[in-house]
Amino acid sequence: MANEGEDHAIVADEEAPKEFALMANTSTKSKECIETLSKKLETLKLEKDGLDGKLAGLLIASKDLDNLIKSQRSEKNKEGLRYTAVPPPTA
């Protein structure tokens, strides 16, 4: 075999620094990426909380308007208001 005379310990020692450098570089980039994504996540959570508050306010306002419309309709029905022909006042 061609590899019989080759010392694998030397080959491993030569490749190890490259691999550790790649691992360290990858680890640093991963940490930076995680930090960036964590910051973006916090920003999005704050924006979501703000939008949830606005949505809750709009839902309450919509419910209040629905109640107002229902009360106006029911009052008209109770009073029996209709368009009737009313003669103009005499001068």
| pLDDT tens per residue across span 21-69 | 666 667 888 889 999 999 999 999 999 999 999 999 999 999 999 988 8
Task: Convert the pLDDT of each residue in 4-24 to its tens digit.
Answer: 555 555 555 566 666 666 666
Closest CA to 60 of 48, 52, 49, 72: 52
- Half-sphere exposure (Cβ direction) of 22: Cα atoms closer than 13 Å: 5
Signed CA dihedral, 55, 56, 59, 60: sign only? negative
Per-residue buried b or exposed e for 39-62, using 16+ beta carbons within 10 Å of the residue's own CB: eeeeeeeeeeeeeeeeeeeeeeee
Distance CA 74, CA 86 (A): 24
